[in-house]
Amino acid sequence: MGLMYSNMGKNEEALKLFDRAYVSRVKLLESQSPNACNALSLIAVLYANIGHVNKSEMLYREVLSSQEDVLGAQHPDTLWTLNHLSVILFSKERSEDSIRSVEKSTTDLETLLGENNLDTLWVFHNLAMIYAFLGRFDEAEKHQERVVQGYRIGLGPDHINTLYMINDLGDCYLRAGKFEKAEKMIREAFEGKRKHFGLRSQYTLYSETLLACTLKELGHRDEAEKMYTRIYETTLETLGFDHSGVWWVANYLAEFYVEGQRWREAKVLYEKLLEVKTKFPGSGHANTCHARDLLQATKKQMGSPTGPTRNTLLNRPARSLPSDFGYRTRNDIVQVLF
């Protein structure tokens, strides 16, 4: 039920149910049951999905400690939890330690499970998206291309998880400036999701947002603006501004306004983003700090003479990590919307 509320954007209702399960965590952990740890890991994912990153981190740490005691540090379930905890920490603080932890848990899982195992491919996808975010595009593309190939073989080209990986390969190409390759991948993912879920599904809108960005980069700004506006209005209507899926779309739309020097429209969106992100994930979270910096840069630019954007922060594309990065469940993307 909590998962359903989360998917609908009803975060307060979801939080009440998650908290009830969270209170029971001590008894579950004391049982030393792998199933109990897996259930608590899912709750950690869901906490992160609604912006309660600190609770998610704390729960992952408790699960990890229990798994290390019961299963050992090199058990696949333990390494999986460590990988997801490290991803959460990276999304929160961007530290070198979190990157190294993701890298090590990824290679350890590959050693244990084999290079073609879906869980292995999943954590390599996490690593690929971190590298893409950091601008290490060659490494990101190499890993994500391998992931897509493995998913096409393992699950088939039309499986929703395969489409998700194709989408994120397109995202890697987009960040690297390979716009034609990006459009091909993202459009394939978009069409596949549209067939599965329809045009108003968050899965479909996720790919359509990236497609709009790609079209913008290819010079089709009018078409991109229409797509951005429709996607934003649809996600706002279905999820509300407190949902992370809306933040992600709003960030892309604000970036579009900045590039067109439409400062007031960008300022309105950045103000909304800062307000809601200050509540959760919190004022010190990396995403909140980035929103604050973008708002300040936009305000400063509004007072400058008309002309090319001078602020280096606004010159840099505002593409962040995927809105649900680190918040998806284990090879079961369909469970969580953004």
263: helix, coil or strand? helix
Interatomic CA distance for residues 18 and 2, integer angstroms? 6
Q: What is the three-class DSSP state of 338?
A: coil
Burial group, residue 264, by CB count within 10 angstroms (0-12, 13-18, 19+): exposed
pLDDT band at 18 (very low <50, low <70, confident <90, very high): low
Region 248-252: mean pLDDT is: 91
Residue whose entry in the numeric block shows the structure tokens 């599904």: 201
Indicate the burial class of 314 (C-beta count within 10 angstroms; 0-12, 13-18, 19 or more). Answer: buried
CB-based contacts of 111: which residues, under 8 Å, 6+ apart?
Answer: none
Q: Mapping DSSP to helix (H, G, I), strand (E, B) and coil, where does residue 25 land?
A: helix
Give the pLDDT score at 334. Answer: 33
What is the DSSP track for 291-321?
A: HHHHHHHHHHHHTSPSSS---HHHHS----S
Report the pLDDT value the prediction gives residue 268, as an integer from 0 to 100: 96
State pLDDT tens for residues 285-301: 888 888 999 999 999 99
Q: Is 258 exposed, middle or buried (0-12, 13-18, 19+ CB in 10 A)?
A: buried
Report the alpha-carbon distance of residue 136 to residue 6 in Å, rounded: 33
- CATH of the domain spanning 1-112, picked from 2.30.40.10, 1.10.10.60, 3.30.70.20, 1.25.40.10: 1.25.40.10
pLDDT tens per residue across span 263-278: 999 999 999 999 998 9
Closest CA to 273 of 297, 256, 302, 249: 249
- pLDDT the model gives residue 239: 83
pLDDT band at residue 33 under the 50/70/90 scheme = confident
Extents of the domains making up the chain: 1-112
Q: List pLDDT tens digits, range 96-145.
A: 999 999 999 999 999 999 999 999 999 999 999 999 999 999 999 999 99
Q: What three-state secondary structure class fits 332?
A: coil
111: its two tokens: 């050693």
Percent of the chain at pLDDT > 90 equals: 59
Residue 29: per-residue pLDDT: 59
